[in-house]
Amino acid sequence: MGDWETILSSILNGASIIVGSCANLLIIVSFFVFNSARQPTELFLVSLSVADFLVCAVYQPLLIICFNHPDIIFNQPYMSSMAFFGFTLMTASMNGLLAVNFDRFVAIYLPYKYMTWITEVNTAVLISISWVISIATGILNLSTSPVVKVIAHLYTTIIIVLIPILYGAIYKEARKQARRIIDQSMAGARVLPNRRHLTDRATRGVGLVVITTLLCWLPLILFPAFLSNLKTDEEIHKAIWWCVTAGCVNSCINPFIYFYKFSKFRRNVGKLSQMIGINNVGGRFPININKHRVNPPISQDPNSVETARRGAWLVEEPVPEAT
């Protein structure tokens, strides 16, 4: 491998390690420190953030060593460890995306079942199952049996194909429902809401995560189609490492999507930044975040308060454009 490739790969992966680890750690810590009421969608995204943190903090340092020491491909224990962590964390990311899309599917198609099905306990069970499956597929990938490896790869491939199809159906139905609500509520109004308000915030945020993840992992997904053009083991491993580097960039992007699309993550990171002494970062965080918070009346039905609180994730009120 040329010196310029080694330097470039080390810079890219090194920057990803620093930025991705810190950003994901901020999301994870701030969520568990400041969130007393945890929404299922948030829990699924935090689980995904844990996978992203492990990619940056554990897997990418191993990747840098591979770029700087190509002869390490002959070190079987090292390569097996790297393959285990890589396949496990990739599957964990895809399982996390599938779980988030399942959450949105129930919220959009079965809104009356959402409160009883997607509870905090059930969410924790789904997250635990997804991680167990991810670790199991990582172990299966180390098997010397070709059949076992095919099963592990087939599982991941099915998820990769299923995620965009599932999200496409969710997004289409969300727009249809939002359009119906807007037509009913804005009947007779001269000014109609902007198109960006036709779907709820959570669905739009999840969609952005899905799109960026699939784009970043696209080189690795398409890699088998170009495998026949590579002649030597060194060329094959080098191509795989570059494809994986592109995929790892996604682990840096996701926390910024959470920060941009989800106000609760933004507030939590702001509170944590103030706590550790980084006051008013970039002018985005007010000094007293809870200053304008209005508590519900004491006499209000607790069930209706809980329904309204969760419903805020599902429907975003249209904002008319200024005339």
pLDDT digits (tens, 9 = 90+) for 47-101: 999 999 999 999 999 999 988 888 888 888 888 898 899 889 989 988 988 998 9
β-bridge partners, 320: 193
Residue 294 CB contacts under 8 Å (≥ 6 apart), including other chains? none
Q: Is 188 left (phi over 0), alpha (psi -120 to 50) or beta?
A: left
**Quick one: pLDDT at residue 309?**
47
3-state secondary structure the chain: CCHHHHHHHHHHHHHHHHHHHHHHHHHHHHHHHHCCCCCHHHHHHHHHHHHHHHHHHHHHHHHHHHHHCHHHHHCHHHHHHHHHHHHHHHHHHHHHHHHHHHHHHHHHHCHHHHHHHCCHHHHHHHHHHHHHHHHHHHHHCCCCCHHHHHHHHHHHHHHHHHHHHHHHHHHHHHHHHHHHHHHHHCCCCCCCECHHHCCCHHHHHHHHHHHHHHHHHHHHHHHHHHHHHCCCHHHHHHHHHHHHHHHHHHHHHHHHHHHHHCHHHHHHHHHHHHHCCCCCHHHCCCCCCCCCCCCCCCCCCHHHHHHHHHHCCCCCCCCECCC
Q: Give the burial class of 77: count Cβ atoms within 10 A of its Cβ; 0-12 exposed, 13-18 middle, 19 or more buried.
A: exposed
Would you call 153 exposed, middle or buried from its count of C-beta atoms within 10 A (0-12, 13-18, 19+)? Answer: middle
Backbone phi, psi, residue 321, to 5° = -75, 145
Alpha-carbon span 270 to 135, nearest angstrom: 34
pLDDT of residue 36: 66
Contact 130, 69 (CB under 8 A): no
The pLDDT of residue 317 is 41
Q: What is the per-residue pLDDT for 226? A: 81
Q: What is the pLDDT along the chain (323 residues), one digit of tens a residue?
A: 557 878 888 899 999 999 999 999 999 999 888 866 678 888 999 999 999 999 999 999 999 998 888 888 888 888 889 889 988 998 998 898 899 899 989 888 888 888 888 888 899 999 999 999 999 999 998 888 888 888 888 888 899 889 999 999 988 888 887 777 777 766 555 555 554 445 667 788 888 889 998 899 888 888 888 877 877 777 888 888 888 899 899 899 999 998 888 888 888 888 888 888 754 444 444 444 444 444 444 444 444 444 444 444 444 444 444 44
The predicted structure's pLDDT at residue 176: 84
